[in-house]
Structure 1
Amino acid sequence: MNRVTDELLRMVSDFTGAFKGAFNIRENGECAGRQSTDNIKIESKPNAPGLVVHIRPGTKGETVYIPACVTQGNINDLVYNDFYVGEGADVTIVAGCGVHTEDEGEATHNGIHRFFLEKNARIVYREKHVGTGGGTGQKRIDPVTEATLAQGASLEMDTVQLGGVDETYRKTWAKLAANARLVVRERIMTDGDEHARTDFEVTLAGEDSGCDLVSRSVARGQSHQEFYSSIKGLTRCAGHSECDAILAENGTVTASPALEASHVDAALIHEAAIGKIAGEQILKLRTLGLTEQEAEEKIIEGFLR
């Protein structure tokens, strides 16, 4: 494992020199370390790059780490990871990704994660993305998440991208059975000429299933962001999506929600708010001794927390 990988791991996956429990470290398309536990088995896919992760029914309180790092240009890393989560399990998955280049070569990671949650299983999924390096090559991360939730299952996704990624296309697809729940908290910051696109597509197929999709973002410089969400309610269910974005300098944001209710008891809501930081917020902080720039940074920090 090289020095850049070590630095990226500390940024995206709470790495402190070693992982406790199950983990797989991916470095430039290769495995740089792996460990399973009695309850969480990590194996290589037989016919494609990636992993098969089996979490035993009833597993509680464990964390599995699957970070991926691209540490040089001219690498386009593609990985397929499948997670099979047994009935009643309750675990955390940390899947950070960092891309780094010091030359004109592009550093790209494409992670396709599929989750299969059995009855009453619960997953907390944390994903942090970052781009680093002084090279001119593009730094790109394109994550795809597909989730199938059985009765009573729960998936909570906390995804963060706060700098350095030139291009990202983030896709999330989910289908929920009865009483299943999906919660997504997405935070994105773009700057310069960076571009970020988010697509959510959720089908609430089972009675009393529900989803809550919230995206908060800041577009600075000349950057552009796109937010698309689609929630389909096929039965009695509750779905909510929300896009809140702050514009700074010449940043731009578009939001395109779609709601499709196919049942009289499907309750679906979308909210969106896009605009600059209110002047009175900055003025209030300036009365406390902050400069205008410091006040803006403090507001953005709180907004993306």
Structure 2
Amino acid sequence: MELNNVTNDVLNVIDSYGFKQEGAYNLRLNGMAVCHGDSRHIQIVKKEDQPGIDIHISGEAKNEQVHIPVVMTEAGVDVVYNDFYIEDGADVTIVAGCGIHGEGCSETRHDGIHTFHVGKNANVKYVENHYADGNGTGKKVLNPVTKIYVGEGSVFTLETTQIKGVDSTKRENYIELAENAKLNVTEKLMTHEAQSAVSNMDVVLKGENSSARIISRSVAKGTSVQVFHPRAIGENPCHAHVQCDSIIMDQAEISSIPEINAKHVDAQIVHEAAIGRINDEQLIKLRTFGLSEEEAESVIIENFLK
């Protein structure tokens, strides 16, 4: 279908792989699925009992992609429930995310509840980007909930990025790892002005020899407030590393609360947390190349959030 310029502009930001109306895809626009397609190994089925879709990924899928972006250009509240059923041995990248373009004075909010059921020996990458723009005064709110159940021997990579413009967000993640399952998480976030962001993540290492690596990086500007609470729970012999690094600027506030909980003598779990300002030596060095202070800060922040 033909999409307008505003929708295309938002899609270009939130879909870092490039949204196309081909293969497996589903575009949700202002609370409605406006176009979708299936591929040979990936089928998307509309739910009958609630808003959302079921995505069925065959074990024969190898190095395939499915794109399921959400765009809101009208005020209101959109709630969607998406379930992913990923068979044994599948290899797939799932590109999601939500973009809001607000021009009015009323709140625009999207609550996405995503649940992943991952079989054995699968390789899954889930990319979720959040972004908001527009000149409207209404709040732009995103509240994602993600539940992930990773089967034996599978690898799940979770990449979440809040690019800019979101006034308020509360992220809830719950992840369970079976025997020999691996989890890699990279969370990146920027807030400015009076924005607020809360990120809670529970990772339960239930299976023997499961492992998790969780990295969170954020920048807070203006009077914005951020709260991070990642929690790793080891119930069997396992390995986990939690790392939270933040840059604080202006009058912002950041709380970083990494938590580890060992329930087995051979659960090896480590956490780190660091909050600090931009390094003055880095600023001075970049200024010597002719950059203004604002330009130098932008370069440092961009590289920090890569």
Q: Same fold (TM over 0.5)?
A: yes
Secondary structure at 2:138's aligned position in 1? coil
Aligned equivalent of 2:53: 51
Show the counterpart of 2:87: 86
1:11 aligns with 2:24: no
Cα distance, 1:299 vs structure 2: 0.5
Q: 3-state SS of the aligned residue for 1:96?
A: strand
CA shift in 2, pair 1:172/1:276, >3 Å: same
Aligned to 2:182: 181
| Equivalent residues of 2:198, 2:227 under 8 A apart | yes
**Where do residues 91-130 of structure 1 align in structure 2 (5 Å cutoff)?**
91-130=92-131
How many Å separate the matches in 1 of 2:215 and 2:132?
23
Find the counterpart in structure 2 of residue 190 from structure 1.
Answer: 191
Classify the secondary structure of the residue corresponding to 1:293.
helix
- Give 1:16 deviation, angstroms: 5.6
Report the alpha carbon displacement of residue 3 of structure 1 after superposing the two structures with TM. Answer: 3.2
Cα distance, 1:154 vs. partner? 1.2
Corresponding residue to 1:34 among 17, 29, 36 = 36
**Whole-angstrom distance in 1 between the partners of 2:260 and 2:63:** 36
Cα distance in 2 for partners of 1:40, 1:65 equals 11
For residues 168-209 of structure 1, give each alpha carbon's deviation from its aligned partner in whole angstroms, at most 9, with x where no partner exists: 011111011000011110110000000011011010000110
The residue type paired with residue 219 of structure 1 is A
Letter aligned with residue 114 of structure 1: T
Q: Deviation at 1:240?
A: 1.1
1:21–1:62: 8 Å Cα contact kept in structure 2? no
For residues 139 and 35 of structure 1, the distance between their equivalents in structure 2, rounded to whole angstroms, comes to 29
Aligned residue pair count: 304
Aligned-residue offset at 1:288? 1.8
Partner of 1:63: 65
Q: Counterpart of 1:158?
A: 159
The correspondence of residues 281-296 of structure 1 with structure 2, limited to 5 A, is 281-296=282-297
Alpha-carbon separation, structure 1, partners of 2:284 and 2:10? 37
Paired with 1:202 and 1:24, the residues of 2 have a C-alpha distance of 29
Contact 1:72/1:105 (8 A) holds in 2: no
Secondary structure of the structure 2 residue equivalent to 1:240 = strand
Q: Structure 1: how far apart are the matches of 2:92 and 2:102?
A: 33
- Contact 1:19 / 1:65 at 8 angstroms: preserved in 2? no
State the SS of the aligned residue for 1:162.
strand
Which secondary structure does the structure 2 equivalent of 1:91 belong to?
A: strand
- Contact kept, 8 Å, 1:109 with 1:141, in 2: the verdict is yes
Deviation at 1:94, TM superposition (A): 0.3
CA contact (8 A) 1:83 1:115 kept: yes
**Superimposed CA distance per residue, residues 42-93 of structure 1 (whole angstroms, 9 cap, x where no aligned partner):** 00112010000000113101100000011122x1000000000010000000
1:270-292 deviation per Cα after TM superposition (whole angstroms, max 9, x unaligned): 10000101111111111222222
Rounded to whole Å, the distance in 2 between the matches of 1:115 and 1:15 is 21
Secondary structure at the aligned position of 1:280 is classed as helix
**Equivalent AA in structure 2 for residue 91 of structure 1:** V
Q: Which runs of 5+ in 2 are unaligned?
A: none
Write the deviation string for residues 245-267 of structure 1: whole angstroms up to 9, x where unpaired. 00111111001121110111100
**SS of the counterpart of 2:294?**
helix
Is the CA contact (8 Å cut-off) linking 2:245 and 2:273 kept in structure 1?
Answer: yes
Whether 1:268 and 2:269 are equivalent positions in the alignment is yes
| Conserved 8 A contact 1:150-1:176 | yes
* Other structure's SS at 1:60 match: coil
Residue identity opposite 1:55 in structure 2: I
